């Protein structure tokens, strides 16, 4: 058993946990066009099929990072704070949660007729102590996105950090 009090058996048991969500319908062109509008990206690859075809694509595509927004496939109800996505059910009292970063790999562009399957796995759970003596738990996970035929589309590795509010050392 680790001396890090945040690194409980329950937390360690998260290693290797996997969930999978399959979109209930094809990706569609409107979702990509709307994402482009929302982010302020007016690239015609997302809205103009003639332009996209002139540059070697079969038609319009999604802005690349949209595929990694897993909530759209999960179909989960929103909680009291409005969050409608997957959580690992992890509640660590006395901590604050910090997002560490992202590492995307994109294999190909999303086509409107793609049916997307998201498979999300916890790769590792590690306990550390900050330089100021606060315990923390670092959770790394990777979400992989593929078509329903198994064709790889993208992956997104994320780091989530829970930092203890109380100074231990």
Partner 1 sequence: MSTVPSPGLGDFAAVQAAVEAGQQVPPLERTIALVDMVAYAGATWDWYRSHYDPAFVEAAALPAPIVDGQVFGALLVEQLQDWLGPRSFVHELAFTFKNLVFAGETVRCEGTVTEVDEDRLTAEMQVVVVGEDGTASRVAVAGGRAVVLLGTADGPGAA
Q: Which of 44, 46, 42, 45 is nearest to 33 (CA)?
A: 46
**Judged by CB under 8 A, does residue 115 bind partner 1?**
no
User: Among residues 17, 113, 152, 165, which is the contact residue for partner 1, using CB under 8 A?
Assistant: 152
Task: Classify residue 129 as exposed, middle or buried by CB count within 10 Å of its CB (0-12, 13-18, 19+).
Answer: middle
Backbone torsions φ then ψ of 51, nearest 5 degrees: -65, -45
Q: Which two tokens stand for residue 158?
A: 């994320």
Q: Which stretch binds partner 1 (CB under 8 A): 9-17, 117-125, 127-135, 150-158?
A: 150-158
Contact indicator for 116, 147 with CB cutoff of 8 Å: yes
Residue 13 or 103: the one with the smaller Cβ distance to partner 1 is: 103
* 74 to 93: interface string for partner 1, x by CB under 8 A: ----x--xxxxx--------
Residue 99 or 169: the one with the smaller Cβ distance to partner 1 is: 99
Give the span between the Cα atoms of 75 and 107, in whole angstroms: 25
Residues that bind partner 1 (CB under 8 A): 31, 34-35, 37-41, 43, 45, 51-52, 54-57, 63-66, 68-69, 71-72, 78, 81-85, 98-109, 151-153
């Amino acid at each position: 058993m680790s001396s890090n009090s945040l690194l409980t058996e329950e937390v360690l048991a998260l290693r290797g946990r996997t969930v999978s969500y399959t979109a209930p319908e094809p990706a569609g062109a409107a979702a990509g066009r709307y994402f482009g509008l929302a982010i302020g990206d007016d690239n015609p690859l997302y809205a103009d099929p003639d332009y996209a075809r002139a540059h070697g694509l079969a038609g319009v595509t999604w802005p690349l990072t949209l595929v990694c927004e897993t909530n759209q496939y999960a179909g989960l109800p929103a909680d009291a704070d409005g969050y409608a996505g997957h959580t690992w059910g992890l509640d660590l009292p006395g901590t604050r949660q910090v997002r560490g970063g992202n590492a995307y790999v994109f294999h190909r562009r999303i086509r409107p007729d793609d049916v997307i399957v998201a498979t999300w796995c916890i790769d590792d759970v590690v306990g550390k102590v900050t330089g100021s003596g606060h315990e923390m738990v670092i959770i790394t996970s990777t979400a992989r996105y593929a078509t329903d035929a198994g064709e790889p589309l993208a992956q997104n590795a994320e780091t989530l950090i829970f930092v203890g509010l109380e100074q231990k050392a």
